Structure 1
Amino acid sequence: MNRKRNLTISLLAALMSGLLVYGVYMLQLRQVQFQDKVAVVAADSFVPAGERITAEMLEIREISQASYNSEMLQNMDEVIGMEAVVPLGSSEPLLRWKVDKHRLLPSRAQSTFQIPRDYVLSVSNGIRAGDKVILYLSGEGVESSRLFAEPVTVASVKSSANIEIDDTDNPNLMSLASGDKEKMYASRRDANGMIDYINLNLSEEQWLELDTLCKAGQSKLVIAFSPLSLDIETEEMP
């Protein structure tokens, strides 16, 4: 009986010793991970949204391996010439979604489509290039509905003279880039011109669905300005 109890105690002691050794190993491994450094690209000082990034705005900063994630940029050449999608804080490691090369161009999964005028029932006159819009279907004998769950990006809005509609003294895109909502509002209020052509960045599936629904003439688009256009600091990457 004593021999069996002694054997059980020995096994438990061996198990506890093993767990203790494993715990010490994991602590040491974690400490090594924190000590290992990774070089990442960071903003040298505050960078406003919409600012085109130059080499003077950047620095290489070392962070712990444990703090690194794959979205962080490590090569300055990837960043130079891009625009800040959101404001960048001083010494803040740059994430891929926070910078973009050409924000009005379609993503890799999209193309820019000019929407035929006979597909459109109405379009908000406050819409400008760079805005997010929501598309609705309407028409006689058609049940009104929202076309896509997510808003889409406006590539450009033009008058019948093929001129981009904006306030020349206070361009909307400049206000959008700097995050100045007051100037954005003023540019929309003061801009003149009726929208005759609107170009949207759509995926192939979105365009085919839109074209199928509208080409017969019964369903038409109502294009509405989305308040997501004003959420500059929380806007996501395409």
Structure 2
Amino acid sequence: MNRRRQMAISLAAALLSGLLVYGIYWLQLRHIRLEEKVPVVVPKQFIPAGTVLDKSMLTTALIPRSSLKEDMLSRPSDADGMQTFAPLGTGEPLLDWKVSMYPLLPKEGEETFQVPRDYIKSVSNGIRAGDWVVVYLSSEAEGSRRLYAEPVIVAAVKTAANTEIDDPSNPSVLSMASGDKEKMYASRRDANGNIDAVNLNLTERQWLEMDAACKDGNGKLVIAFASSAPGMDGKEAGS
């Protein structure tokens, strides 16, 4: 009886010892895997918002797998030709929500609103789809002020015939997508048509603020071409 008990105890001890060794091995393997380096896409230098990316602007950097997130891009070619929604810092892992192949579409949390004509006092004639604009409120009762702290993006600029204002032979949007600033500037100089309607990508809060300020007729909007997109002041992102 004692012999059987000793064999059972020895067998249990061996089993527990094996489980302990396996557990330590699994923990070490997990630690090694988490510390394993994986490549992610990073900018070579600071990139402002509104920039059309080219592979030459990007490179890859190695980070621990434990720091990897699902929205990080792993190949520079994945971001080639996309436009930035936010400024990108040097060596900062590129997140997919910061870039888009279709920058005229509203981002998450935004909708595209056509600004009512009776809300507008003046619109800069040079604005086109894809531009950043600053929105001011002109009001005798409240005084003139900037309506939004940050510029907003123009989704469309239409004539009275509901056609996009652009140069048909050289659309500025295509030039913007290819990063050709000279053609983009030339197409805007050659574009004809009076601005009749402006569509802006706004959050619900921004639209409600605009509507509250203008619906009684006391406030009017002044929409001006922005000299820079958000983050284009030369400062690094996150500084």
Query: Where on the TM-score scale, by shorter chain, does this alignment land: which range?
Result: 0.5 to 0.7
CA contact 1:110–1:202 (8 Å) conserved in 2: yes
The answer to whether structure 1 residue 150 and structure 2 residue 150 are counterparts is yes
For residues 91-121 of structure 1, give each alpha carbon's deviation from its aligned partner in whole angstroms, at most 9, with x where no partner exists. x975325532421111221111110000000
Partner of 1:179: 179
C-alpha displacement at 1:184, in angstroms? Answer: 2.4
Deviation at 1:50, TM superposition (A): 4.5
What is the CA deviation profile of residues 57-111 of structure 1, one whole-angstrom value per residue up to 9, with x for unaligned ones?
A: xxxx7834189553763678xx96985225x9xxx97532553242111122111
Assess if the C-alpha contact under 8 Å between 2:151 and 2:229 holds in 1.
no
* CA deviation after TM superposition for structure 1 residue 201, in Å: 0.7
C-alpha separation in 1, matches of 2:183 and 2:166: 12
Distance 1:85 1:147 in 2: 25
SS of aligned partner of 1:134: strand
- Structure 1: give runs of 5+ residues left out of the alignment: 1-31, 44-48, 54-60
Residue matched to 1:219:
219
Give the structure 1 partner of residue 112 of structure 2: 112
Query: How many angstroms does 1:214 deviate by?
Result: 0.3
**Contact 2:119–2:220, Cα closer than 8 Å, also in 1:** yes
Unmatched segments (≥5 aa) in structure 2: 1-30, 43-50
Secondary structure at the residue paired with 1:228? Answer: coil
Amino acid at match of 1:156: A
1:6-21 to 2 correspondences below 5 Å: none
| Residues 74/186 of structure 1: CA separation in 2 closer, same or farther (3 Å cut) | closer
- What residue number does 2:207 align with? 207
Q: CA RMSD in A?
A: 3.9
Kept after mapping to 1: 8 A contact 2:132/2:151: yes
User: Contact 1:37/1:62 (CA < 8 Å) preserved in 2?
Assistant: no
* Other-structure match for 1:124: 124
| Whole-Å separation in 2 of the counterparts to 1:37 and 1:85 | 31
Task: Please name the residue that 2:83 is paired with.
Answer: 85
**Distance in 2 between residues matched to 1:136 and 1:189, nearest whole Å:** 25
Give the 3 Å change call, closer, same or farther, for CA 166–35 of structure 1 in structure 2: same
Task: Tell me the equivalent position of 2:36.
Answer: 37
Task: Tell me the distance in 2 between the aligned counterparts of 1:93 and 1:178.
Answer: 23
Does the CA-based 8 Å contact 1:33-1:66 persist in structure 2?
no
Identity of aligned pairs, percent? Answer: 51
Structure 1 residues 223 and 75, CA, compared in 2 at 3 Å: closer, same or farther?
A: same
1:182: how far off? 2.5
Q: Number of residues paired by the alignment?
A: 187
Separation in 1, partners of 2:203, 2:116:
17
